Structure 1
Amino acid sequence: MHDAVSTLTSPAAIALLNLGAALQSRGYHFTATTPATHQHVNQRPGNEEARSLTDIFGWSRPFRREILDSEIFELMGKANILEAHGEHWISQVRWASLGDQLYVHSRFPTSDANAVFFGPDTYRFVRMLRDHLQGDAAQLQRIVDIGCGAGPGALTAARLRPQAEVLALDINELALAFTSVNAHLGGISNLVTAHSDLLRDVEGTFDLIIANPPYLLDAEQRVYRHGGGNHGAGLSLKIFDAALQRLAPGGTLLLYTGVAIFDGQDPFLSAVRLSLVDLGWDWFYEEIDPDVFAEELEKPDYIHADRIACVALRLTRPTT
């Protein structure tokens, strides 16, 4: 393991951090959209190339050197995120806003196998987490974010529970690198990043386990998108099982995921309901958004699905 600050030893990571600070000082702001919306907006006439910082670092449009001031361009070069594109350049990363924090993540389109995604699910996940923590006065000591991505869940928990140790886990080294930059940019000091397959590579129990795993079936099996199992629920089920073993007494699992609904039935809830009933633990389950990623319904794996919904599970282990 390593803490968020000490990982920023390479010149490229430091330059990426300084780039984020420079964008903040210039009032940069961008709300990350779904891939379908992103593509639609970029295909509009006049959006072929960038004319602003938002175009470059939000919409991932190619840009001409002369539209950027020298500080930003030089920091991009030092951070190794400049990619030549004919007579233009493209940023290999994006920056998205969540509250007053900027988060670096992968550029659009997120086609690389190790891409780090940030989008509408991120905002819904963080809102769910924030609502839980603001309504819960418990003095949490250990919090873990399984599959932290760019770190929005882990950073939100660390900020709202500064006395707690927060672990940000992922199998994607790029995600851990981005989380470290984002934590440093946000002034977070109680966060530790670690490479881990679920909870297998960390020890102990946790007072709060949070996760926003991928939940779609992806033909290319990209880590940020592919949930595996039946219609993408495989990873969510593994996280559920892992949490049952590693929650401390009184500890809570907050799982935000997606599920393909067939004939009005939720197969993820059906798969965990028996365990929930047998445990006798306090739990709550709801649909956060009833209809997302409609374009997936055109693919063979979802040809018989009614819809894909975003759902939230809150599960709390008794204190005794």
Structure 2
Amino acid sequence: MTTEPLAELLKALAARNYRFITPTPSTCRRMAGKALTGRPDLRDIFGWSRAFAQCDLDPALWALLDQAGALTWDASGWRSRFRVSTVHERLFLHSAFPANTADAIFLGPDSYRFADLIAAGLATGGHVRSILDIGTGAGVGGLVAERYAPGAKVLLSDVNPAALDLARVNASHAHADFEVREASGLEGALMDLDLIVANPPYVAGQSGRTYKDGGDMHGARLSLDWATAGMAHLAPGGRFILYTGSTILDGGSDPLREALEEAVAKTDYQLGYRELDPDIFSRELRGEAYAAAERIAAVAAVITRPS
């Protein structure tokens, strides 16, 4: 993959006032089954990942996709290997639908809830000079944080080199002061960070997909490990903003909340925790790993180090 043409593609789409909000995979599947009433437009091609003919696309955009090695062919026609979505008025490249390969870079409703959580957190004030986004994927967390903390240095970290390629393009398009680093979790992370943000995988089981498997604790292990490890990397007054899913067990207990409360109780740090959506990814509850579960909730945890 050649990234320079992808950077030019984002500029070209921005100049054409392109905008697309990415919904759930089920909605995307529904849209894929709807017949077009005319030729596919930019939202069809770069948002819904629909097939198109070469004549359907501006020659300049076609050339950029071709130069980037971002064109694929199937029985329906040409498709872009990447989608482009709008999050908090910034454009983000990510994997085309369906994003079901092991290293696919996903962006969807979780990304929007994560972005909203970060924006709300930064609206409360506080000077942010340094931001670490763990498991950055397309870079949504770190780059949305930078939008509301202009001038901050952003480190985008991920185990997936393909994700870092796209995050680099997205960060350049956002004119952010950034670095990317291939790393697992907090490996090699700087100390005295003003802000750490993370949206870890949180699904129980072993799908083999980088952005899905959350480990034991009904999928909460990675979220807990990143949060507790991240506490040591915060500067005085620094915050760790965690967006994740937590399995609510039969009887209503929340093991992630209980584990975070126990970890924070051993320190002078403060924990804010709340449910953002009481029932997400309900289809996962059919799996054996969720036999003791009532539901999966989208949750926000904010850990703050005293000043």
TM-score, scaled to structure 2: 0.94
1:69 matched to 2:30? The reply is no
Whole-angstrom CA distance in 1 between matches of 2:205 and 2:107 = 17
Match 1:106 to one of 81, 95, 101: 95
Q: Counterpart of 2:216?
A: 229
**Gap change, CA 1:141 and 1:91, over 3 Å in 2:** same
Counterparts of 1:23-62 in structure 2, within 5 Å, are 23-44=13-34, 46=35, 51-62=40-51
**Whole-angstrom distance in 2 between the partners of 1:186 and 1:50:** 31
1:302–1:92 distance in 2 versus 1, CA, 3 Å: same
Contact kept, 8 Å, 1:16 with 1:76, in 2: the verdict is: yes
Aligned to 2:294: 306
Work out the number of aligned pairs and report it: 306
Match of 1:187 among 175, 188, 202: 175
Aligned partners of 2:118, 2:3: CA distance in 1, in Å?
28
Unaligned runs of 5+ in 1: 1-9
Q: Is 1:213 aligned to residue 179 of structure 2?
A: no
Are 1:22 and 2:9 counterparts? no
- Name the SS of the counterpart of 1:230 in structure 2: coil
Q: CA deviation at 1:49?
A: 10
Query: What's the % identity of the aligned pairs?
Result: 38
Residue 150 of structure 2 corresponds to residue 162 of structure 1: yes
Deviation at residue 113 of structure 1 after TM alignment: 1.2
How far 1:50 moved relative to its partner? 6.8
Task: Give the distance between the partners of 1:57 and 1:98, measured in 2 at CA.
Answer: 15
The alpha-carbon deviation at position 48 of structure 1 amounts to 11
Deviation at 1:47, TM superposition (A): 5.2
In the other structure, the counterpart of 2:189 is 202
Higher mean C-alpha displacement, 299-308 vs 224-233: 299-308
Greater alpha carbon shift after TM alignment, 158-167 vs 228-237? 158-167
Structure 1 residue 134: Cα displacement:
1.6
Match of 1:89 in 2: 78
The answer to whether the Cα contact below 8 Å between 1:50 and 1:61 also exists between their aligned partners in 2 is no
Shift of 1:298: 2.1
**Which of 212, 227, 234 is residue 247 of structure 1 equivalent to?**
234
| Whole-Å separation in 1 of the counterparts to 2:37 and 2:239 | 47
Counterpart for residue 175 of structure 1: 163
User: The residue matched to 2:232 in structure 1 has which SS?
Assistant: helix
Letter in 1 for 2:19: H
* 2:137/2:164 contact within 8 Å kept: yes
How far is the alpha carbon of 1:112 from its aligned partner?
1.4
Partner residue of 1:78?
67
The C-alpha deviation readout for 1:11-31, integer Å capped at 9, x for no partner, is: x21100111111122222111
CA deviation map 1:158-211 (0-9, x unaligned): 2222332221111111111111111111222x2111111112123322111111
Task: Flag the 1:38–1:50 CA change in 2: closer, same or farther, 3 A.
Answer: farther
Q: What is aligned with 2:244?
A: 257
Contact 2:204 2:290 in 1 (8 A): no
Maintained 8 Å contact 1:154/1:167: yes
**Displacement of 1:300:** 2.3
Partner residue in 1 for 2:304: 316
Query: Are the counterparts in 1 of residues 118 and 141 from structure 2 also a CA contact under 8 Å?
Result: yes
Choose 153-162 or 127-136, whichever is displaced more.
153-162
What is residue 113 of structure 2 aligned with on the other side? 124
Secondary structure of 2:26's aligned partner:
helix
Letter aligned with residue 92 of structure 1: R
TM-score, scaled relative to structure 1:
0.90
CA gap 1:303/1:21 in 2 versus in 1, 3 angstroms: same
| CA distance, structure 1, for counterparts of residue 269 and residue 204 of structure 2 | 30
Runs in 1 of length 4+ with deviation above 6 angstroms?
none
Structure 2 gaps, min length 5: none
